Chain A
């Protein structure tokens, strides 16, 4: 037994080192092993699925940016190059292109789940509002990303989209002109959409997802509407300490936190 404990201690040493200096392991454990209602179900995984879809978009988009050239003469040829010549380019571009639809669809499904479960009610209204902002930013990602292949479909779809923005009352024409970077679509429009698509909006989405998750952790997960347990009834009985709780050993290292 003693040799086994010693070996275990040696394996866990880096984790303990990190925990003593940062508290990150405890934080991660607090995040991963928090209490949720016993009758949660698969519908409540849609939020994590949406987050996963966004992370895939961020990752594949960053890699595509290594080969994509956002100027009118090179944009479409670089897309053809990515799709036809670069190793696995077709796959990564396909993941980004189809993953975009998956991300939007999952956002709507997640929103539908929250609505139908009544999970937008007190005290979670603010998280609903943040979620709606995230939805709007996600749709803006779709709009700006659609121009980047710079083919006939994307060019005319963006022309129509910008002019739809232009028909909004009062400030619509100014919005359209801001999006175009001029009175007509021009060379600046493409690099402008590229910067909005891969820098401005993703930064805002990351920040809002942070707030969204913070509120999820702070406020907890809702029970389904058919739950038999009354809401807010507190823990039923203190649970016995598990033999090994989470990522670190149950007992702290001697002489450090004892």
Chain B
């Protein structure tokens, strides 16, 4: 540690480089919204001024100079006379100091790490839902959307409720085809609504509620920030960055069974022959394709 008089505090010298660096970063961030070329220009400005700043800081602290240290001599004829600089020994005090710190750190780690793991790990383990039986296919009239809602964990109550828009697309190569869209907005997760009247009449299958929409919706809309989607879940307006997420399905003994959810960049075509650009499940607001997707390289286990 270096003690300095109050007249010579540890402060960097006056410099304009940080201001230029900050302007570059601002231009970079504005460019993300406005134009990619401004991002490039801002990045170049930030790198140049950041380099100049770092160079000044390095010079100011003498990082480029080698420390002036006399070579160590043990024969007693060196620059330090014999006896003046006693050889450093590893004494009892040093041993006790190191062992106290070490044992303390070990005990602290043993106590803290399990507690930290207990706080963090359950959020990432045993996620995902088992496949869920949504009832016989005959409950889903061909070509109509059915609002399907259920609680994944009834003991937790309404907080575990999921809502899906299920459409029977008829047969494709003699196999039933379904479109299962979540109501989880791809912007920030608010509940999207079908753009049509939702009747109060409903069927139930076990704990699953099924509401048929006799008038086909023109699409889906989000009440929070105005995201709008077409009938296949493609984004057509507003802030969402991709299409609505979907669920996989299987048919078991004539029943529709809900499988794992996945994310969708876009859907080309419609119904059973639509081409779905499918990705693993991402959080709302995250890009699936394009350069922005580089910001989300690894997703936590869903």
A interface vs B, CB < 8 Å?
72-73, 122-123, 155-156, 159-160, 162-164, 166-167, 169-170, 172-174, 176-178, 180-190, 232
Minimum CB distance partner of A179 in chain B = B123
Residues of A within 8 A of B127 (CB): 182-183
Besides A167-B283, A167-B285, A186-B160, 5 new A-B residue pairs in contact (Cβ under 8 A), listed by A number: A162-B189, A164-B188, A172-B296, A183-B127, A187-B159
Report the separation of the CA atoms of residues A49 and B9 in the bound assembly, to the nearest whole angstrom.
32
Residues of B within 8 A of A163 (CB): 188-189, 283-285
Q: How far is the CB of A165 from chain B (nearest CB, A)?
A: 9
Given the complex, which residues of A lie within 8 Å of B224, measured CB to CB? 156, 160
Which 8 A-B pairs have CB atoms at the shortest separation, nearest pair first? Answer: A166-B283, A169-B295, A167-B285, A163-B188, A187-B156, A160-B188, A163-B189, A163-B284
Q: Is the CB–CB distance between B128 and A183 below 8 Å?
A: yes
B135-173 contact mask (Cβ, 8 Å, vs A): 1 or 0: 000000000000000000100111110000000000000
Contact B124 A177 (CB under 8 A): yes
- Kindly list chain A residues whose C-beta atoms are within 8 Å of the C-beta of B283: 163, 166-167, 172-173, 176
A168 to B277, CA, bound (A): 23
Residue of A whose beta carbon sits closest to that of B11: A122
- Is B297 within 8 A of A170, CB to CB? yes
Bound: A185/B297 CA distance, A: 23
When the two chains form their complex, are residues A173 and B156 in contact, meaning their CB atoms are under 8 A apart? no
- Looking at the assembled complex, report how far the CB atom of A157 sits from the nearest CB atom of chain B, in whole angstroms: 9
Would you give 10 A-B contacts (Cβ < 8 Å), ordered by A?
A160-B224, A163-B189, A173-B283, A177-B123, A181-B123, A184-B160, A187-B156, A187-B160, A188-B122, A232-B6
CB-contacts of B81-110 with A (<8 A): none
Looking at the assembled complex, report how far the CB atom of B234 sits from the nearest CB atom of chain A, in whole angstroms.
Answer: 20
Q: Which residues of B does A touch, CB under 8 Å?
A: 6, 9, 11, 120, 122-124, 127-128, 153, 156-160, 188-191, 224, 282-286, 295-297, 299-300, 302
Docked Cα-Cα span, A29 to B230, in Å, equals 70
Q: Known interface pairs A167-B285, A167-B286, A181-B122. Does A174 touch B156 (Cβ–Cβ under 8 Å)? A: no
Main secondary structure of the interface of B (DSSP, over half): loop
Q: Contacts of A123 on B, CB cut-off 8 Å?
A: 9
B9 touches A170 (CB 8 A): no
Nearest residue in B to A190 (C-beta to C-beta)?
B159
- The residues of A that contact B285 with a CB separation of less than 8 Å are 163-164, 166-167
Contact of B9 among A122, A177, A184 (CB under 8 A): A122
Residues of A within 8 A of B299 (CB): 173
Asked whether, in the complex, the Cβ of B157 is within 8 Å of the Cβ of A72, the reply is yes
Nearest A residue to B128 via CB reads A183
Q: Could you tell me if B282 and A170 are in contact, using CB atoms closer than 8 angstroms?
A: no
Q: How near does chain A come to B103, taking the closest CB pair, in angstroms? A: 25
Chain A: minimal CB distance from B263 (Å) = 12
A160 touches which one: B120, B122, B190 (CB < 8 A)? B190
Residue of B nearest to A167 (CB): B285
> In whole Å, how far is B163's beta carbon from the nearest beta carbon of chain A?
12
CA distance A162 to B128 in the complex (A): 19
CA–CA, A146 and B170, complex, Å: 46
**A185: nearest chain-B partner, CB-CB:** B159
Complex alpha-carbon distance, A72 and B127, angstroms:
20
In Å, the complex CA distance between A155 and B224 comes to 12
Residue of B nearest to A200 (CB): B119
Which residues of the partner chain B approach A169 to less than 8 Å between Cβ atoms? 295-296
CB contact between B284 and one of A166, A170, A174, A185 (< 8 Å): that residue: A166
**Residue contact B295 to A170, C-beta cutoff 8 Å:** yes
